[in-house]
Amino acid sequence: MAVILVLVGLGLGATFLRGQVPLGNAQTSAQTPAASTPAAEAGAKLQNEQNTIQVVARYEPGLVYISTETQVVTQDPFGMMFGQGGQTQVQQGVGSGFFVNAAGDILTNYHVVAGEDSSGAAQKISVRVMGQQKSVPAKVIGLAPQYDLALIRPTGLDAGLVRPIPLGNSDTLKVGQKAIAMGAPFGLDFSVTEGIVSSTARQIPIGFGGVSGQGITQKAIQTDAAINPGNSGGPLLDSGGRVIGINTQIISPGVQAGGTGQSAGVGFAIPINAAKNLLPRLQAAKGGIVTAPRIGLTAGLSAQAQGQNVPVGLSALSPQGKEQLGVPESGLVVGEVTPGSPAAKAGLKAGTDVQQFRGGQIVLGGDVITAADGDPVDGVEDLQAALIDKKQGDTVTLKVWRGGQTRDVKVTLDASSYQ
């Protein structure tokens, strides 16, 4: 059964068995923990409830309800026959966000503020804070489609209503710790749910604008706190009220049956550390696009798909084809290396022998990247996934195949990686 990930913005389109102990009389009294009294259980429950109440009371005012509008022109085929023009409709969407600083910057998902076909921002973005009846307009500070992140700022909002929520450290998360999700599920603004962190590094495709329009694979936080359409862009908090993630997607069996995506206890959040690393670039974007870092190479294997050449990995070739070409089972073929780029400085070599085959072409004679920082690489997006959280000066260790020999190559990202 295919797994369907659903973006949890509106208008845009597990059970764990751990440490089981068999029932019976095999354990001695020394091995059996003392039974909790009803008063102790009630006290523990009350303590957890009080923590949730305190976190919500203190930080929910930093939550923001976001609504968007984009005018879309639709064509009626029958109307066109009689010379009639297209009809204009307003595409609406809602989502969530939260303040990250006193200047009023709001962090949210890109798909919450994206326009038609997820190409650029919506024509009109409005935000409303808790306790206010009216919305105020917001402008885009920076967009990062590949990360599914965006930074917006309200105009005309009273500075006293800006309540930043502190950002935590997602690298220290532990499975089983408390998670509080805030947002606007199904448009029910300023809603709160609670659960636990189910996984700290679940690999899923996130974002827009990558190769073939697909998201880059990233490590996401999995939680069973109820996340539904409209929760997108809202914060996932720990028991200290610190933001540990940004709610973004769910797995929803209902979509497979043709229904509306809704929580099945498997939701995902972008780790807050990824957003913190990106925040300075978003703040300096002046309303523009922030892209994932690059090292200065292009893929040397492409295949025809929907009338255009699409970069693919070696796993797309048949076993016979790979044997005939003398290439590894999988990997990213290096087709070109940009002079002066990090890839060029690290000594990566591009192929020179271009060979055509039915449905595509391959450039032979150069390097093949088979892994990045220990993770397998079979295409451009796998390499991007290894680079996506890195900053200028960071290194990535590539396992490179050349002429039947494999070696490790360290590539250091520089200013050109972010231009």
- How far CA 151 is from CA of 125, 181, 220, in Å, comes to 12, 20, 19
For residues 104 and 252, give the distance between their C-alpha atoms in angstroms, rounded to a whole number. 33
Given 67, 96, 105, 111, which residue is catalytic? 111
- What are the residues facing 251 on neighbouring strands? 5
- Report the candidate in 221, 227, 198, 207 with the shortest Cα–Cα distance to residue 8: 227
**Is residue 378 among the annotated active site residues?**
no
Sign of CA dihedral 247, 252, 254, 258: positive
* Helix count and strand count (H, E) for the chain: 8, 23
8 A C-beta contact, residue 231 and residue 190 = no
Angle at 410 between CA 405 and CA 414, to 5 degrees: 140
Structure tokens at 138: 């917001």
Annotated active-site residue in 67, 96, 170, 232 = 232
For the chain, the 3-state helix, strand and coil shares in percent, each to the nearest 5, are 20, 35, 40
Which DSSP category does 199 fall into? E
Instruction: Note the maximum CA span of the chain.
Output: 88
Q: Compute the distance between CA of residue 225 and CA of residue 220 in angstroms, rounded to an integer.
A: 14
111 part of the active site: yes
How far apart CA 140 and CA 104 sit, in angstroms, is 12
d(CA 187, CA 96): 9
Q: Which amino acid is at 61?
A: P
List the beta bridge partners of residue 406: 401
Taking the C-alpha atoms of residue 43 and residue 23, their distance in angstroms, rounded to an integer, is 27
What is the torsional sign of CA 243, 383, 318, 329? Answer: negative
Per the residue annotation, which of 67, 105, 148, 341 is the catalytic one? Answer: 148
Q: Is 67 a catalytic residue?
A: no
Catalytic machinery residues? 111, 148, 232
